[in-house]
C-alpha cells in the first residue's frame, strides 16, 4: 500500500550538552502505514518522538510532514498541522471529567471542533476506545488502562494526520495488552498513519508494517519486523555480543 | 443560554440592582464599606480570571492599581476625567502585556516574586521621578466626583468584569486556560498557544486593576506612592479571591463580602493586629478550605443532591 510520504525525517540530530541523544537519523513513513520505532532503553526513541512533536527543538536536519517543513516549529503549531501524540507516562487533566479530557484534544487541534461537533466527535472517540458511557467520570477515579484509553481518545479526536504513540502499551497486564493491541490494530485498519515506540515484541510483530531500530541515538536497521528482529546488529544491541 | 444560566443572570442583575441602592440609604458608613467591597470585588474577580484557571499567583495588582491612581493624580488638572480613565486602561494593558511577555514563560515561584517586585520597582521609579522633578512626595486630586459616583462606577466596572468572565469561561480561550492550569505540556501538544492565552488574560486583569486605581484616586484626594503601590493591596486581593474560591466566577465575591466586614472591624478596633489577622486567614484558607467558600458550597450541594 504505497502512499504519499507522511513524515520524512532527514539527518536529524539532537544533543544535550555533550550527549548526542539522536545522531543523524533518517527515516520515512508513508501514509496509512504503522511504523515501529524500537531499540534498547536509552537509545533515543522518545527523544526522536519529542523532536517530531515539537516538544524538543532539533539541532540540525529537517523534518517534513506531508511535504511541509515542520522542523523547529513550536509544539502547538505542529499539533495544528495534524500531529497528535500520547505520552510515555500517561498525562491526564486531573480536574476535568473524561469527556472534557477528550474535548481538550479536539478544540485546538487541526480540526478545531466546538459545540455540537465537538460533543459528537468526543462521544464517538470514547466509544471507540471502549469508554462509551464513561464521559462524566472524573479521571482521578479511572484505572490505569482506562486513562491510557482516554489519552488515546484525546489524541484521536483531532483526527490527526500522524499519530505518535509513545509506549502506549507499557504497564498493561496480559489481558489488557490483548485489548490494547486490538485497539491499535483497529486504528491501523482505518488507515491511520502511526508511529509507535514499543518494547512489547508481540505488538511490534502484529502491528508494524515497518520498523526502524535505534541504538545510541543512531539508526542501526530498518525493514519489516521479521527482517529487523533477525538482524545481527539488532540482536547484539539488545542482548550483547555473545548472542549475535 | 441554558436554564441555569438564565437563572444566574437574573440573580446577578437583582443583586447588582440592590447593591446600587446602597448610596440612597444616606449612611456614610455603609457607603464607605460598599466602596471597599466593590473595589475588592472588581480586583479579586479580575485577578481570579487569570490566576484561577492557570494557578499563576500574581502579586502585581498593587502595581497596576498604583499606576491608575497616578495617571489620574498627574492628569486631573490637564485632561477630562474620562480621558484619564482611558489612558489608565491603555497603560495598564501595555504594561501587563510587557510583563506577560517577559515573565509568563517563568514557572510558579519566579513569577510570584517577579510580580511582587514589580510593584516595588514602579513605586521606586515614581519616587525617583518625583524627587528629581523637585515636587513634593505626593499629589493632590481635587475633583467634584462624589463617593456615590465612585461607588456606581465601580459597580459598573464590576458588571463588565462579570460579563467578560462569563464570556471567557464559555469560550475556547477559557477552556484553553483550564487545560493550561491542569497540564501545560498537554496544552501545548493539543495545539494551544499557551503564551498568548496567558498574556491575554493577564492583560485583562491588569487593565481592570489599573482602571480601578484610577476610579479610586478622587476618593483619596492626596496620593502618595506608599499608598498607591501598597503590597498589602496585592495580598488582600489574593486572600479574598482564595477565601471565596478562585475557580468560579462567583467565588471571589463571596470571599470579599465577609472578609471586608471583618477587616473593617479589625482595622477600626485593633489597628496593630491587621497583619496577624491576614496571616491567620491565609493559614485557615490553605489548611481548611483549599477550594474556598465556593468549594464548600459545591461540596454540600453535591452531598445534598446525593442524599435524595
| pLDDT tens sequence across A7-43 | 999 999 999 988 999 999 999 999 999 999 999 988 9
- What is the pLDDT, as a whole number, of residue B136? 67
Give contacts of A 42-61 with B, CB under 8 A: 53-55
- Do residues A59 and A148 share a domain? no
Using a CB–CB cutoff of 8 Å, tell me whether A117 touches chain B: no
- What is the pLDDT, as a whole number, of residue A105? 94
Neighbours of B32 (CB within 10 A): 14
A181 in any annotated domain? no
Neighbours of B271 (CB within 10 A): 8
Read off the pLDDT band of B166 (50, 70, 90): very high
Look over chain B and give the mean of its residue pLDDT values, rounded to a whole number.
91
Q: How many structural domains are present in chain A? A: 2
d(CA B65, CA B144): 21
Q: In chain B, where do the E strands start and end?
A: 138-140, 222-224
Query: How many Cα atoms sit within 13 Å of B302 on the Cβ side?
Result: 6
pLDDT of A1 above 70: no
**Average pLDDT, stretch B149-174?**
95
A35 in any annotated domain? yes
A179 in any annotated domain? no
Burial B177-191 (b: 16+ CB within 10 A, else e): bbbbbbbeebbbbbb
**Average pLDDT, stretch B193-222?**
94
- What is the pLDDT, as a whole number, of residue B61? 95
- Do residues A22 and A70 share a domain? yes
pLDDT of A117 above 70: yes
Beta-carbon pairs below 8 A across chains A and B:
65
User: What is the tally of helices (H) and strands (E) in chain A?
Assistant: 9, 10
Phi, psi of A241 (to 5 degrees): -60, -40
pLDDT of B228 above 60: yes
Using a CB–CB cutoff of 8 Å, tell me whether B193 touches chain A: yes
A89 in any annotated domain? no
- What is the pLDDT, as a whole number, of residue B243? 93
A202 in any annotated domain? yes
Which residues make Cβ contacts (< 8 Å) with residue B140, sequence separation at least 6? B73, B221, B222, B223
Q: Residue B188 is nearest to which of A75, A92, A154, comparing CB atoms?
A: A75
Residues of chain A neighbouring B197 (CB-CB closer than 8 A): none
Using a CB–CB cutoff of 8 Å, tell me whether A168 touches chain B: no
pLDDT of A47 above 60: yes
Read off the pLDDT band of B138 (50, 70, 90): confident
- What is the pLDDT, as a whole number, of residue B27? 85
**Average pLDDT, stretch B171-191?**
94
Secondary structure class of A2 (helix, strand, coil):
coil
- Do residues A112 and A78 share a domain? no
Secondary structure class of A176 (helix, strand, coil):
helix
- Do residues A73 and A106 share a domain? no
- What is the pLDDT, as a whole number, of residue B168? 95
- Do residues A155 and A165 share a domain? no
Neighbours of A23 (CB within 10 A): 17
**Average pLDDT, stretch A100-107?**
95
Read off the pLDDT band of B106 (50, 70, 90): confident
d(CA A102, CA A118): 9
A101 in any annotated domain? yes
CB contact under 8 A, A79 and B179: no
- What is the pLDDT, as a whole number, of residue A142? 93
- What is the pLDDT, as a whole number, of residue B134? 65
- What is the pLDDT, as a whole number, of residue B221? 82
- Contacts of the segment A112-121: beta carbons below 8 A, 24+ positions apart: A113/A157, A114/B172, A121/A157
- Do residues A78 and A170 share a domain? yes
Read off the pLDDT band of B203 (50, 70, 90): very high
Which strands sit side by side in the sheet containing A5-16, from one edge to the other? A19-30, A5-16, A60-65, A68-69
- What is the pLDDT, as a whole number, of residue B308? 53
Give contacts of A 74-113 with B, CB under 8 A: 74-76, 79-80, 84-85, 87, 91-96, 103-105, 107-110
**Average pLDDT, stretch A117-125?**
94
State CA B235 to chain mean position distance: 10
Secondary structure class of B306 (helix, strand, coil):
helix
The ipTM (two decimal places) reads 0.92
Which residues make Cβ contacts (< 8 Å) with residue A154, sequence separation at least 6? A101, A102, A104, A105, A125, B190
Report which DSSP code applies to B247.
T
Secondary structure class of A37 (helix, strand, coil):
strand
A107 in any annotated domain? yes
A128 in any annotated domain? yes
Phi, psi of A3 (to 5 degrees): -120, -165
| Comparison of pLDDT for B115 and B103, the residue scoring more | B115
| pTM of structure | 0.89
Under 8 Å between Cβ of A28 and A65: no
| Domain extent at residue A148 | 94-159
- What is the pLDDT, as a whole number, of residue B28? 87
Burial A97-134 (b: 16+ CB within 10 A, else e): bbbbbbbbbbbbbbbebeeeebbebbbebbebbebeeb
CATH of the domain at A70: 3.40.50.300
Under 8 Å between Cβ of A109 and A80: yes
Look over chain A and give the mean of its residue pLDDT values, rounded to a whole number.
92
Q: pLDDT tens for residues A206-226?
A: 899 999 999 999 999 999 999
Q: What percent of chain B has pLDDT over 90?
A: 61
Environment class of residue B3 by beta-carbon count within 10 Å: exposed (0-12), middle (13-18) or buried (19+)?
exposed
Using a CB–CB cutoff of 8 Å, tell me whether B178 touches chain A: yes
d(CA A38, CA A210): 11
pLDDT of A110 above 90: no
Q: pLDDT tens for residues B13-22?
A: 999 999 999 9
Under 8 Å between Cβ of B192 and A108: yes
Amino acid at each position: 500500500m504505497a502512499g504519499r510520504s507522511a513524515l520524512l525525517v532527514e539527518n536529524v540530530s539532537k544533543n544535550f550538552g555533550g550527549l548526542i541523544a539522536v545522531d543523524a537519523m533518517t527515516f520515512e513513513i508513508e501514509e496509512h502505514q504503522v511504523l515501529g520505532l524500537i531499540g534498547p532503553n536509552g537509545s533515543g526513541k522518545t527523544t526522536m518522538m519529542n523532536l517530531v512533536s515539537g516538544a524538543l527543538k532539533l539541532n540540525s536536519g529537517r523534518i517534513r510532514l506531508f511535504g511541509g517543513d515542520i522542523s523547529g516549529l513550536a509544539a502547538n503549531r505542529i499539533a495544528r498541522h495534524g500531529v497528535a501524540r500520547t505520552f510515555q507516562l500517561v498525562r491526564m487533566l486531573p480536574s476535568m471529567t473524561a469527556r472534557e479530557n477528550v474535548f481538550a484534544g479536539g478544540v485546538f487541534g487541526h480540526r478545531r471542533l466546538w459545540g455540537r461537533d465537538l460533543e459528537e466527535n468526543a462521544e464517538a472517540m470514547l466509544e471507540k476506545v471502549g469508554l462509551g458511557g464513561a464521559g462524566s467520570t472524573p479521571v482521578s477515579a479511572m484505572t490505569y488502562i482506562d486513562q491510557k484509553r482516554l489519552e488515546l481518545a484525546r489524541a484521536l479526536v483531532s483526527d490527526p494526520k500522524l499519530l505518535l504513540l509513545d509506549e502506549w502499551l507499557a504497564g498493561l497486564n496480559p489481558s489488557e495488552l490483548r485489548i490494547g493491541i486490538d485497539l491499535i490494530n483497529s486504528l491501523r485498519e482505518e488507515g491511520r498513519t502511526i508511529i509507535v515506540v514499543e518494547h512489547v515484541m508481540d505488538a511490534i510483530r502484529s502491528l508494524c508494517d515497518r520498523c526502524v531500530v535505534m541504538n545510541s541515538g543512531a539508526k542501526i536497521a530498518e525493514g519489516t519486523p521479521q527482517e529487523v528482529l533477525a538482524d545481527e546488529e539488532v540482536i547484539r544491541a539488545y542482548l550483547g555480543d555473545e548472542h549475535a | 443560554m441554558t436554564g441555569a444560566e438564565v437563572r444566574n443572570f437574573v440573580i446577578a442583575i437583582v443583586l447588582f440592582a440592590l447593591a446600587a441602592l446602597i448610596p440612597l440609604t444616606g449612611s456614610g458608613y455603609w457607603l464607605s464599606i460598599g466602596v471597599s467591597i466593590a473595589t475588592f470585588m472588581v480586583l479579586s474577580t479580575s485577578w481570579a480570571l487569570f490566576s484561577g484557571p492557570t494557578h499563576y499567583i500574581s502579586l502585581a495588582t498593587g502595581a497596576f492599581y498604583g499606576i491608575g491612581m497616578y495617571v489620574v493624580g498627574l492628569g486631573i488638572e490637564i485632561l477630562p476625567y474620562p480621558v484619564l480613565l482611558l489612558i489608565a486602561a491603555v497603560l495598564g494593558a501595555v504594561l501587563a502585556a510587557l510583563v506577560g511577555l517577559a515573565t509568563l514563560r517563568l514557572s510558579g515561584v519566579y513569577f510570584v516574586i517577579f510580580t511582587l517586585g514589580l510593584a516595588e520597582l514602579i513605586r521606586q521609579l515614581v519616587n525617583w521621578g518625583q524627587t528629581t522633578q523637585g515636587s513634593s512626595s505626593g499629589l493632590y486630586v481635587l475633583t467634584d466626583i462624589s463617593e456615590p459616583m465612585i461607588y456606581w462606577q465601580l459597580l459598573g466596572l464590576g458588571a463588565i468584569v462579570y460579563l467578560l468572565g462569563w464570556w471567557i469561561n464559555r469560550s475556547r480561550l477559557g477552556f484553553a486556560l483550564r487545560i493550561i492550569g491542569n497540564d501545560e505540556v498537554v496544552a501545548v501538544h493539543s495545539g494551544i498557544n499557551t503564551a498568548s492565552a496567558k498574556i491575554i488574560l493577564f492583560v485583562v486583569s491588569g487593565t481592570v486593576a489599573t482602571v480601578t486605581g484610577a476610579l479610586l484616586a478622587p476618593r483619596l484626594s492626596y496620593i502618595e506612592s506608599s499608598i498607591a503601590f501598597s503590597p498589602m493591596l496585592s495580598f488582600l486581593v489574593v486572600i479574598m479571591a482564595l477565601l471565596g474560591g478562585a475557580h468560579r466566577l462567583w467565588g471571589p465575591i463571596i470571599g470579599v463580602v465577609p472578609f471586608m466586614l471583618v477587616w473593617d472591624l479589625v482595622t477600626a478596633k485593633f489597628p496593630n493586629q491587621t497583619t496577624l489577622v491576614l496571616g491567620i486567614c491565609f493559614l485557615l484558607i490553605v489548611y481548611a478550605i483549599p477550594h474556598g467558600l465556593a468549594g464548600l458550597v459545591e461540596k454540600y450541594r453535591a452531598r445534598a443532591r446525593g442524599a435524595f
